[in-house]
Amino acid sequence: MSAEIDMKIWQGRTDPEPNSERWHQRVQPLTENAAAGCALLGFASDAGVARNQGRVGAAKGPAALRRALAPQAWHRQGPAYDAGDVICDGDALEQAQQQLGERLASLLDAGHLPVVLGGGHAIAFGSWQGLTCHLENQGNEAPKVGIINLDAHFDLRDPQHVRSSGTPFAQIAEQCEQRGWPFDYACLGVSRASNTRALFERARELKVLVREDREFVPTAIETLIQDIERFIVSCDHLYLTIDLDVFPACEAPGVSAPAARGVSFALLEPLIETIRDSGKLRLADLAELNPDYDIDNRTAKLAARLVHLLTLNG
pLDDT digits (tens, 9 = 90+) for 237-291: 999 999 999 999 999 999 999 999 999 999 999 999 999 999 999 999 999 999 9
Q: What is the pLDDT of residue 217?
A: 97
State the average pLDDT for the chain: 95
23-37, 136-150, 176-190: least confident range? 136-150
pLDDT for residue 192 is more than 70? yes
2-310 belongs to CATH 3.40.800.10: yes
Q: What is the pLDDT of residue 156?
A: 95
Q: What is the pLDDT of residue 194?
A: 96
pLDDT digits (tens, 9 = 90+) for 14-34: 999 999 999 999 999 999 999
Q: What is the pLDDT of residue 1?
A: 63
112-116, 148-152, 161-165, 240-244: least confident range? 161-165
pLDDT for residue 161 is more than 90? no
pLDDT band per the 50, 70, 90 thresholds, residue 5: confident
pLDDT digits (tens, 9 = 90+) for 105-137: 999 999 999 999 998 999 999 999 999 999 998
Q: Where exactly are the structural domains of the chain?
A: 2-310
- Of all residues in the chain, what percent carry a pLDDT higher than 70? 98
Q: How far apart are CA 228 and CA 242, in angstroms?
A: 15
